[in-house]
């Protein structure tokens, strides 16, 4: 019979998605999930990921609309195209979830993370740490005679790179916020 001109892998009711459903290649996707900020909503989202065996690489959450009590959960996850489609469909089923955006598919998103690094050292190492921090546009937010706390903002990759450089220079503690992301343009 006549072959259908419909691509495999669509989960939307009408759009015939162009990605290859059968590809086994895993890729990273950044999802923005808009939810009612009510008790337990984060547990529902996390429970979905653990219960169905999906990955979470990073997760951030905060109320973004205080009047409407809406929170934005930004999740960085990994999976094949089929798994990513399932994750989105499953998220969409959760009752307090209003919107699910795949920022990776919707166009290159702006992704930023904030991190704090505590680096202890004296002499040459201390000077070198400060010099590198300057290159990374890190701010010094705390300082003693033998330590700094640097604040760095950037993509997760930039923060990883900064961590690598600080490690031999006396890095003793790191705190990262996880990724916040927005689509570009309007």
Partner 1 sequence: MSVQMTGAEMVVQALKDQGVDVIFGYPGGAVLPIYDAIFQQNDIRHILVRHEQAAVHMAEGYARSTGKPGCVLVTSGPGATNAVTGLTDALMDSIPLVVFSGQVPTFMIGTDGFQEADTIGITRPCTKHNWLVKDADKLAEVIHQAFHVATSGRPGPVLVDLPKDVQFATGAYTGPKAARVDHYKPQVKGDIEAITKLVELIENAERPIFYTGGGVINSGTAASQLLRELVDATGFPITSTLMGLGAYPASGKNWMGMLGMHGLYEANLAMHGCDLMINIGARFDDRITGRVSDFSPGSTKAHIDIDASSINKIVPVDLPIVGDVGHVLEDILKIWKARGRKVNKAGLAKWWGKIDEWKKVRCLAYEGSSKVIKPQYALERLEALTKGRDRYITTEVGQHQMWAAQYLGFDAPNRWMTSGGLGTMGYGFPASIGVQVAHPDALVINVAGEASWLMNMQEMGTATQFRTPVKQFILNNERLGMVRQWQDLLHGGRYSQSWSESLPDFVKLAESFGWKGIICSDPKDLDDAIMEMIEHDGPVLFDCLVEKHENCFPMIPSGKPHNEMLLSADAAAFAGGAALV
Which spans of this chain sit near partner 1 (rule: CB under 8 A)?
1-2, 4, 6, 8-14, 21-22, 36, 39-40, 43-44, 47, 51, 82, 85-86, 89-90, 92-96, 98
Neighbour-count burial of 29, counting CB atoms closer than 10 A to its CB (0-12 exposed, 13-18 middle, 19+ buried)? buried
CB of 98 to partner 1, least distance (A): 7
If the CB atoms of residues 40 and 123 are measured against partner 1, the closer one turns out to be 40
> What's the min distance (Å) between Cβ of 27 and partner 1?
17
For the bound state, the minimum distance from the C-beta of residue 97 to partner 1, rounded and expressed in Å, comes to: 10
Instruction: Return the number of the residue (16 or 131) whose C-beta is nearest partner 1.
Output: 16
CB of 47 to partner 1, least distance (A): 6
Closest contact distance (angstroms) between CB of 89 and partner 1 is 4
For the CB of residue 103, give the shortest distance to partner 1 in the complex, in Å.
20
CA angle 8, 13, 19 (to 5 degrees): 30
Nearer to partner 1, 8 or 184 (CB): 8
Nearest to partner 1 of 22, 167 (CB atom): 22
Calpha distance 108→54 (Å, rounded): 23
Contact, 112 vs 178, CB < 8 A? no
- Helix H, strand E, coil C: the string for 41-72 is HHHHHHHHHHHCCCCCCEEEEEEEECCCCEEE
Nearer Cβ to partner 1 (5/144): 5
Residue with smaller CB distance to partner 1, 39 or 135: 39
Structural Rg of the chain based on CA atoms: 21
Structure tokens at 43: 């547990």
Q: Which two tokens stand for residue 112?
A: 């930023």
Dihedral pair phi/psi, residue 36, rounded to 5°: -70, 130
CA atoms within 13 A on the CB side of 4: 4
């Amino acid at each position: 019979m006549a072959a259908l001109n419909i691509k495999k892998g669509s989960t939307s009711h009408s759009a015939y998605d162009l990605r290859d459903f059968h590809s086994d290649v895993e890729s990273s996707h950044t999802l923005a999930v808009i939810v009612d900020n009510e008790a337990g909503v984060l547990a529902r989202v996390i429970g979905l990921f653990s219960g169905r065996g999906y990955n979470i690489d990073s997760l951030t959450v905060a109320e973004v609309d205080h009047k409407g009590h809406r929170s934005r959960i930004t999740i960085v996850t990994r999976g094949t195209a089929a798994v990513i489609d399932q994750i989105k469909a499953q998220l969409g089923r959760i009752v307090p979830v209003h919107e699910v955006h795949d920022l990776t598919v919707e166009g290159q998103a702006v992704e930023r993370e904030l991190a704090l690094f505590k680096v202890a050292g004296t002499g040459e190492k201390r000077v070198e740490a400060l010099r590198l921090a300057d290159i990374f546009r890190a701010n010094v937010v705390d300082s003693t005679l033998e330590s700094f706390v640097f604040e760095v903002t950037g993509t997760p990759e930039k923060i990883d790179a900064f961590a690598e450089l600080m490690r031999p220079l006396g890095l003793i503690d790191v705190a990262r916020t996880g990724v916040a992301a927005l689509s570009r343009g309007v």
